[in-house]
Each structure stands twice: as structure tokens, then as C-alpha cells.
Amino acid sequence: MLRYIYISTLSLLLCSFHLLAQTDTGAVEVKKPKENVGHQLCIGVDLFQPFMNSLVNYRTGYEMTADYYFKNDIYFVAEGGFGGADINYNNLVYNSTNNFFRVGINKSLFARMKPDDWDMAFIGLRYGMAFIQRSAATYTVIDTTFGSISGTVPAATITGYWMEITGGMRVELVKGLCAGYTIRGKFRLNDNAFKELAPAYVAGYGRGDKNSVFDFNLYISYAIRWRKQH
């Protein structure tokens, strides 16, 4: 870590010396014109997770997303939602609920052709956090030799952390109304917190017993746009 700090500091110093040298030699700084592309806040809801809820009866998950255009085809992103799991097997019974949020950035892969062109294909990064409440779990282990054993795993409060690599696209269907998808590769950062009876499903992440998962979202969203008054 110290090596990286030294390298970064040295790079900054070299850049500073270079700028000072240009100033001393009378170099004229040419300012680039400010980017005049306006502002956009896009708010959307995920349609894929409710569809999965109807197919997989033990889990629920609901997600929303919002992104704000910063500059240079970079978007700040905030996402959140809630859900949980309800396990009712012959040998295991418990439930869990959780809220979650994710923050990060998207970077469009293609430059915009004109100011009102907001279609995009992108890659991105996310940091995610989930706050999970798991109830006490009752279990039964059936053994034909020694007989059945029953017990209870105490309730637990778990906080999960993970990173995501994302990719996807979004297109404007009609003015302001957009649709798109996001593919996610998720990598959990605190596996030890899930050692004792991990929840079957964590909304915003996926299967609680996996330290890496892939996920998918299908969004319908609405874009709010404005331009700075001069």
C-alpha cells in the first residue's frame, strides 16, 4: 500500500513540475469549451425480479434505480430495494428479510452523437450493502441408525457487503421513457458473516450461500432533463 502511495505522490509531483515549467516558459493555456449537454436524472424500476418472484415461490425481491449524468459519459448510480426468503421444508423452517442499497458509476462506451442522444451501452462498478434479519431456524436431521435429531439455530442479524462489475444498455423508446438491462457479476466481501445458515436469498445480491453470483435486471425508467440557465 505504501508503495502505491509513493508512486501516486511522485506522479503528482512530476505533473506539478511539468505545469510549472510550462508557466515559466510562457506557454499559453488553451481552455476547452465547457460541455453543453444538459442534465439528466433517470429513475427506473426493475421488472425482472418480480417476474422471478412468480417463478421461485420461496423468495421475493424488488429493486429501483436512479442515475445522474455527470460529464464525459459518466453517470453516478444509486440503487435500492427490499425482499427476503421464506423457507418451509420438511426438515428446515425459517424466514429472512432484508433491505439493500448499491452505489457506483456507469461509463458509456460510445460518445453521444448529439445533445438529445441519451441512448447508451455501458460498463460500471457498484458497491452493495444488505441489512438482513434471519429468524430462528428449526431443523431435523433424519438418521435411520441413530434416530432423528431436531434443534434450533438462533436468529441472527447479518450485514452483507459486495462489489459488482456491471454491463448493459439503455435506449429511449419515446421522449423521456427508456428501457434497458443490466448484467451483474457480484463478489461478496465478508463471507465469514454467512457461515452459520446463510439466508437462501438476499434481495439485491442473490443466493446467500454463494460468495459470487451473476444477476440480471430489466428496467423501465423515466428521464428528467434540464439545461443550466446562462
Residue 54: strand, helix, or coil: helix
pTM: 0.80
pLDDT tens digits in sequence order for the chain, 230 residues long: 434 433 444 344 444 434 444 444 444 444 444 555 689 999 999 999 999 999 999 999 999 999 999 999 999 999 999 999 999 998 999 999 999 999 999 999 998 888 889 999 999 999 999 999 999 999 998 877 777 788 999 999 999 999 999 999 999 999 999 999 999 999 999 999 999 999 999 999 999 999 999 999 999 999 999 986 54
Concatenated DSSP letters for 147-212?
Answer: --EEEEEPPEEEEEEEEEEEEEEEEEEETTEEEEEEEEEEEES-GGGGSSS--S-BTTTB-TT-SE
Give SS3 for 136.
coil
Q: Show the cell assigned to 176.
A: 423521456
Instruction: In whole angstroms, give the CA distance from residue 31 to residue 23.
Output: 15
